[in-house]
Amino acid sequence: MEHDPLPPTSADASPAGQPRPTRLPLYLALAYLVLISYASLYPFINWRHLGVAPFEFLTAGWPRYWTGFDLTVNVLAYLPLGFFLTLALRHLPGGRWVAAVVAVLLGSLLSLSLECLQNWLPARVPSNLDLACNTLGNMSGALLAAWNGKHILRRIARLQQDLLAPIEHADLGLVLLGIWLLTQSSPETLLFTTGDLRNVLELTPAVPYAAHSFFVLEAAVIGCNTVVIGLLARSLLADRAAPHLVLIAFFILALAIRTLSAAVLVAPQDALAWLTPGAEVGLLLGGALLVLALLLPAPIRVALAGVALMAGTALVNLTPANPYSEAALAAWRQGHFLNFNGLTRWMASFWPFLALPYLTAVGRRL
């Protein structure tokens, strides 16, 4: 039997010279499972029975409409799931190969279930070819994890030990920051903004559009979210990891993702359309407040992050619609990115409601 020597609890002390154990594969597997489920069932509307047997698609012939791109996407989409599941299940009796088999079974069952559910969605078409590609991708990821996953996991754990503070569930915080980075790829939302529930609940803006009011609210929302993200990231970083340089690199990465997504998904000339006067003021104001907040003790920083998170979430739901957003959506030929866009907007809407409990838990342990 082969077992990963790393214990499963990230808060436990590790032996001298050994990296702290990590639950990052488990958190990534759970997060990826939710994302796959959402993308497969989007847009979640017009559910009804179409008179088709749930498993009839399994015996259907080769689909009439398919492309090599679709097949590749279906394979690659499930590869990370198999990889993360295998690493998350590495402590099962029997070692890594048993974990890989269980991961393949779980991933295949997930794909089969989602394909069956698509029978009740008029906008989706279940496909045995999709199921086969998903299973192939899931199996490839599981085999990769079984073959070299232990070494990859050790390197990740070592890197976490070098960069992260010794706090409980720091790896969960990393997942939250990764999800936030992904939300920045939606070019129609305000920069750094999360918590906008108006599309989810079909609410209307509380403040009518006017250039001045939009400028003030945009700057305030971006400023609040800059403080939130900076303080959340700082709470995860060890003092020896040059946290200020890491924070600068992290914000540069977020702006690069925003710029690249706008260039690719809208138009190259709109790559910097997010850099509005309100965004400039918000970044400067948020950056200045963040620099001052970083001088405070850790418990106060976490509490301030929670306050800024609630303020930014409240303000974004008062902000009038962004004219650029409407123009971007009108010009955006989403194609294969339609489901991805709905997914990122959904994640952005609910991100603060995941981050706030995490900040509360971290604050209690400081």
3-state secondary structure 40-97: HHCCCCCCCCCCCCCCHHHHCCCCCCCCHHHHHHHHHHHHHHHHHHHHHCCCCCCCHH
In DSSP terms, 340 is beta-bridged to none
Q: What is the mean pLDDT of residues 334-355?
A: 73
**Cα-Cα-Cα-Cα dihedral sign, residues 254, 259, 264, 265:** positive
pLDDT over threshold 50, residue 3: no
User: Where does the pLDDT of residue 104 fall: very low under 50, low under 70, confident under 90, or very high at 90 and above?
Assistant: very high
pLDDT at 161: 77
pLDDT over threshold 70, residue 18: no
pLDDT at 224: 96
What 8-state DSSP symbol labels residue 320? P
In DSSP terms, 164 is beta-bridged to 237
Interhelix angle for 128-163 vs 68-88, to 10°?
50
What 8-state DSSP symbol labels residue 16? T
What is the rounded distance in angstroms from the CA atom of residue 158 to the CA atom of residue 241?
13
pLDDT at 202: 65
Q: Look at the pTM and tell me if it is higher than 0.85.
A: no
User: Where does the pLDDT of residue 274 fall: very low under 50, low under 70, confident under 90, or very high at 90 and above?
Assistant: confident
Tell which residue, 186, 1, 181, has the closest CA to residue 95. Answer: 1
Tell which residue, 78, 132, 87, has the closest CA to residue 107. Answer: 78
What is the rounded distance in angstroms from the CA atom of residue 232 to the CA atom of residue 188?
24
What is the rounded distance in angstroms from the CA atom of residue 136 to the CA atom of residue 104?
9
What's the mean per-residue pLDDT of the chain?
A: 81
pLDDT over threshold 70, residue 218: yes
Asked whether the beta carbons of 362 and 174 are under 8 A apart, the reply is: no
pLDDT over threshold 50, residue 2: no
Helix (H, G, I), strand (E, B) or coil at 17: coil
User: Where does the pLDDT of residue 13 fall: very low under 50, low under 70, confident under 90, or very high at 90 and above?
Assistant: very low
